Amino acid sequence: MKKSNVIGIDLAKDVLQVCKVSKHGELTTNKAVSPSKLKELLATSTPSIVAMEGSGSCHYWGRLALSFGHEVRVINPKKVKAFLQGQKTDANDALAIAMAATQFGVRFSGVKSEDQQTLQTLETSRKFLDRELTALNNHIRAYLYEYGITMRRGRKSLRETIVLVLDGIGTRLPPCLKHTLRILWERYQLTLAQVNEANKAKAALVKQVEPCKRLLALESVGEVCAAMLYANIGDGKEFKNGREASACIGLTPKQHSSGGKTNMMGINKKGGNKELRAALYQRALSVISRLPAEPKTVKRAWLIELVKRVGVKRACIALANKTVRTAWALLATGESYKPILISQ
Contact assessment for residue 327 and residue 248, using Cβ atoms and an 8 Å cutoff:
no
pLDDT confidence tier of residue 32, bands split at 50, 70 and 90: very high
Q: What is the mean pLDDT of residues 293-315?
A: 89
CA–CA dist 21, 39 (Å, integer) = 18
Among candidates 306, 309, 335, which has minimal Cα distance to 322? 306
Q: What is the pLDDT of residue 37?
A: 93
Mean pLDDT value across residues 237-257? 85
Average pLDDT for residues 32-49, to the nearest whole number? Answer: 93
**Distance set, CA 103 to CA 72, 125, 216 (Å):** 15, 36, 39
Which tops the pLDDT comparison, 216 or 255? 216
How large is the average pLDDT for residues 224-243? Answer: 89
Residue 169 has pLDDT above 80, yes or no: no
Mean pLDDT of 26-45: 92
Superfamily of 6-109 according to CATH: YqgF/RNase H-like domain (3.30.420.140)
**How high is the pLDDT of residue 1?**
44
Q: Give residue 66's Cα distance to chain centre.
A: 22
**Model confidence at 168: pLDDT above 80:** no
Question: What percent of the chain is predicted at pLDDT more than 90?
Answer: 51
Tell me the pTM: 0.81
* 3-state class (DSSP) for residue 27: strand
pLDDT on residue 20: 93
Mean pLDDT (the chain) is: 89
Where along the chain do its domains lie?
A: 6-109, 114-208, 219-333
Q: What mean pLDDT comes out for the span 69-98?
A: 92
Q: Where would I find the H helices in 72-219?
A: 77-81, 90-100, 114-145, 155-166, 178-208, 210-215
